Amino acid sequence: MLGLVLVVLVVGAAALAPVLAPFDPNRQFNDGLSAYGMPRPPDPTYLLGTDLLGRDLLSRILFGARISLVIGLVANGVAVAIGAVVGVVAGYFRGWLGTLLMRFTDVMTAFPALVLAIALAAILRPSLWIVALVIALVNWVYVARAIYAQVLAIREQPYIEATAALGIPTFGVLLRHVVPQLTLSLLVFATLGISTSVLLEASLSYLGVGVQPPTPSWGGIINASQSYLTTAPWLVLFPGLAIIVTSVGFNLFGEALRDALDVGGQR
């Protein structure tokens, strides 16, 4: 329930950002900086303070939630789709095709996810959709390995052998008897993976190869403010808390969903 509450809060804040945000996230206010050119701390006007350019931090965090969730949903959706296709094909057909697909998956798994994502993002021109694609290309391997193991077990069931004896086309067997048994697992992967995607997007933006300014991004806000950690800690604290709440919320909800659906027991 705690995970569900956190997820609802984050998704609701992102969906209602234009309503909840007190200001335009990219607007620079003349009174947004102190007389010494420093960001303003939280006060009744700017509830979470201002950033280095005098922009309202609360507004940028709310709109940054939209960027993180869009990338998380798109990237994880693509990753789950790719991983499911690879796992099903490799597990059901086996032979040289299955071996080739799983060895390729092993090679991809050998690369550290963040390093591979940085390399891909640096080669391609960073944008919202490119970042989502990069994260998907990194995360699909974990789904593929798990689905592969499940399909291998399903493939050995007597009713699957019976469908082959009855001459039912392979596509029909996959569509009617294999894929439906993977639905619960894919649902859990889709939920848990959002947390990983949000963290990876924040990491890429922090390193400067993610979503580019002036688009608000939690990792980008932290990157721009890291030199002010001691003099204006709210610039790092609040976007960092947003990342933690989102990650913990989706992790808790995904774990609870896995326990409720007994996905772990199926594996």
Point out the residues of the chain with pLDDT beneath 70: 262-267
Neighbours of 231 (CB within 10 A): 9
Query: Amino acid identity of 87?
Result: G
Task: Identify the pLDDT of residue 126.
Answer: 73
- Domains of the chain from N-terminus onward: 2-13+55-266 (1.10.3720.10)
* pLDDT, tens only, 206-264: 888 888 888 889 999 999 888 888 888 999 999 999 999 999 999 999 888 888 876 55
Kindly give, in sequence order, each residue whose CB lies less than 8 Å from that of residue 260, ignoring residues fewer than 6 positions away.
none
- The residue whose two tokens read 């190869």 is 209
Query: Amino acid identity of 156?
Result: E
Task: Identify the pLDDT of residue 57.
Answer: 93
Task: Identify the pLDDT of residue 266.
Answer: 43
Task: Identify the pLDDT of residue 16.
Answer: 93
Q: What is the mean pLDDT of the chain?
A: 87
Cα–Cα distance for residue pair 138/63, rounded to 1 Å: 25
* pLDDT, tens only, 78-94: 999 999 999 999 988 88
Task: Identify the pLDDT of residue 264.
Answer: 52
Query: Amino acid identity of 256?
Result: A
